[in-house]
Chain A
């Protein structure tokens, strides 16, 4: 599997994804649940892992296990090389200018907390404002609420329409001389809305306001070029991109990261320590205190190589087809209401079924071997906006296929049967 394939530069139109072949790369997909073949449609929560990722983890622990950036011995050098190679893979994946802009963290949540803590305490004062949207995940709400409580700043929320689209005019109106940062999702986890982030960044930058993009959902489904987007921060998790849990990335423009104080103190983030004064390490290490998740970073690198070789455009086209097919298929089910009907959507189908609570849908589907998410998706304000306590959410990945959508529709018919609808 070559990592040299850049689908964006490919002169030929993207080839179709061979789903049956890629499914063989994912051992977890080959199992039965409750006597039925597993249909895994909870990919917005986490994705299954392809063999190259599992092998990268095993190889590290079997042969190269060592700490990074300190040992003179061979294993430590190998571990350091592999860890830094993963950073370079992430840089290329996001098209960041430099590796020093790629900080390894535990996940999107930690990346956002890092910015809230370090940028926030550095730049945000009483009376200032942080602007988010009405469709954020709790992890892009709560860190800002904490920051606001501590600094006396104010959290503003840009509204969305009934389709689940950001109201850009309202958003623009909320950009004021007091706005210190815009923090917004790239792809909504509860609704599947693709936010016009380039426009968001342009509007904010016209007023000199930096923008953080929550890319937790987006990276596995949309090609991300941070230079093209011109965002100031971009956060994502490895485990939603076929990589391990516990590893994620914060991209930050070097000029911001240089100016920001460290997030945590400890080893690796310092260049010298005396009891009088500590000199911080250069980027990106200034923000990587303590032994990092070395294996996780290496596994994430393998995941990036995997999706890059398949081609993100190819994956996106496959998922677009699935989403359109599924949207069409479920819209014939009586009593089914789609939550999130934006024109620009990706990979996520959120819905309610009249007279049946999403949890009951989840249990009955599980009985059929189908894994979906039922609940508020850590986005309670979104649920409130649509006047529902919870939704059932189907979310696709590159290995899902139309037959699985058919199985889903059959199982939803069974739900209606059980509930006598």
Chain B
């Protein structure tokens, strides 16, 4: 039970049951849909940017506790951050999950996302935890591309 609790920590369960920033963002100017075809998890990320800064972020989705909690906590972590800051945070978060960078958990910007370190022991679940982040990246990039072609 102890190491199961490493994965299913109270904070994670809380976010999965009562996701923050959940729902459609009516005035979104960026959006992307993320799928995990393996398990059918789905996340939609909506953004409203103010210049280079994520002014507003919401998500919708369905899936396992890990994917939904990760999406919920991501929205809290990146709100108000710049594009580059969000990208950097995803990098640290990914390092934390894959265990490539043992000190990632210590990085101050990771904050309460450190609870996802427990996912490391469950390699097949890493994708669940990163789905929302990949979707965020797609949302951020989507607009960039669209703008560049307009």
In angstroms, how far is the closest chain A Cβ from the Cβ of B39?
A: 5
Q: Check A360 against B66 for contact (C-beta < 8 Å).
A: yes
Q: How far is the CA of A375 from the CA of B66 in the complex (A)?
A: 15
The answer to whether A357 and B64 have CB atoms under 8 Å apart is: yes
**CB pair A389 B62 closer than 8 Å:** yes
Residues of A within 8 A of B1 (CB): 414
The answer to whether B40 has its CB under 8 Å from any CB of chain A is yes
B63 within 8 A of A: yes
> In the complex the two chains form, is B8's CB within 8 Å of A355's CB?
no
Inter-chain contact A360/B39, CB cutoff 8 Å: no
B62, closest chain A residue (CB): A389
| Interface residues contributed by chain B, number (CB under 8 Å) | 21
Give every chain B residue within 8 A of A380 (Cβ-Cβ). Answer: 40
Whether B49 is near chain A, meaning CB under 8 Å from some CB there, is no
Interface string of A378-421 (1 = CB under 8 A from B): 00100100000110000000000000000000000010001110
Whether B39 contacts A367 by the Cβ 8 Å rule is: no
Count the A-B residue pairs with Cβ separation under 8 angstroms: how many? 48
Contacts of B13 in A (CB 8 A): 418-420
Say yes or no: B66 contacts A383, CB within 8 Å.
no
Known pairs A418-B8, A419-B13; A383 contacts B40 (CB<8 A): yes
Which single member of B3, B4, B42, B128 contacts A359 (CB below 8 Å)?
A: B128
Asked if B4 and A356 make an inter-chain contact with CB atoms under 8 angstroms apart, the answer reads: no
Tell me the smallest distance from the CB of B50 to a CB of chain A, in Å.
34
B120 within 8 A of A: no
Is A374 an interface position by the 8 A CB rule?
yes
Q: Which chain B residue lies CB-closest to A359? A: B64
A318: B residues at CB distance < 8 A = none
> Counting CB contacts under 8 A, is B83 at the interface?
no
Q: Which residues of A contact B38 (CB under 8 A)?
A: 375
Q: Which of B3, B8, B40, B42 contacts A360 (CB 8 A)?
A: B8
User: Is B125 a contact partner of A363 (Cβ separation < 8 A)?
Assistant: yes
Contact with A along B35-67 (1 / 0, CB 8 A): 000111110000000000000000000111110
Tally of contact residues, A, Cβ under 8 A: 20
When the two chains form their complex, are residues B63 and A367 in contact, meaning their CB atoms are under 8 A apart? no
Known: A357-B63, A360-B64. A375 touches B40 (CB 8 A): yes
- Residues of A close to B128: CB separation below 8 A: 359
Contact between A375 and B39, CB atoms less than 8 A apart: yes
Partner of A389, one of B3, B5, B63: B63
B64 to chain A, nearest CB (A): 4
Cβ contact within 8 Å between B63 and A356 = no
Contact check, B65 vs A360: say whether CB atoms are below 8 A apart.
yes
In the bound complex, residues from chain A placing their C-beta under 8 Å from that of B8 are 360, 364, 418-419
Which residues of B98-150 are within 8 A (CB) of A? 122, 125, 128
| A30–B123 alpha-carbon span in the complex (Å) | 24
Cα distance, A356 to B63, chains bound together (Å):
9
In the complex, the answer to whether A363 meets B7 with C-beta atoms within 8 Å is: yes
Closest to B4 in A: A367
Residue of B whose beta carbon sits closest to that of A361: B64
A390 and B122 contact, CB distance less than 8 A: no
Tell me whether A186 is interfacial, beta carbon within 8 Å: no
A286 proximal to B (CB < 8 A)? no
CA A418 – CA B9 in complex, angstroms? Answer: 9
Check A363 against B122 for contact (C-beta < 8 Å).
yes
A285, chain B: closest CB distance, angstroms: 38
Alpha-carbon distance between A360 and B63 when the two chains are bound, in angstroms:
9
A374 touches B4 (CB 8 A): no
Proximity string of chain B (1-17) to chain A, C-beta cutoff 8 Å, 1 when within and 0 when not: 10111011000010001
Q: How far is the CA of A380 from the CA of B66 in the complex (A)?
A: 22
Chain B residue contacts of A383, Cβ below 8 A: 40
Task: List the B side residues contacting A221 at CB < 8 Å.
Answer: none
In the bound complex, residues from chain A placing their C-beta under 8 Å from that of B42 are: 389
Closest A residue to B38 by beta carbon equals: A375
A376 at the interface (CB under 8 A from B): yes
Residue of B nearest to A374 (CB): B39
**Which one of A357, A374, A375 lies within 8 Å of B65 (CB-CB)?**
A357
Q: In this complex, which of B5, B39, B42, B122 has the most chain A Cβ atoms within 10 angstroms of its Cβ? A: B39
Cα A420 to Cα B16 in complex, Å, equals 12
A355 contacts across to B, CB distance below 8 A: 17
Contact of A390 with B40 at beta-carbon distance under 8 Å, contacts A360-B8, A367-B4 already known: yes
| Closest partner residue, chain B, to A367 (CB atom) | B4
CB-defined contacts of A360 to chain B, threshold 8 Å: 8, 64-66
Chain A CB within 10 A, most for which of B4, B66, B128 = B4
Besides the known contacts A389-B40, A419-B13, 13 further A-B residue pairs in the complex with CB atoms under 8 A apart: A356-B65, A358-B64, A359-B39, A360-B8, A364-B4, A367-B3, A375-B40, A376-B40, A383-B40, A389-B63, A414-B1, A418-B13, A420-B13
| 10 pairs of residues in contact across A and B, judged by CB atoms under 8 Å | A356-B65, A357-B65, A359-B41, A359-B64, A359-B66, A374-B39, A375-B40, A383-B40, A389-B40, A390-B40
Chain A contact residues, CB within 8 Å of chain B: 355-360, 363-364, 367, 374-376, 380, 383, 389-390, 414, 418-420
Which residues from chain B sit less than 8 Å from chain A, CB to CB? 1, 3-5, 7-8, 13, 17, 38-42, 62-66, 122, 125, 128
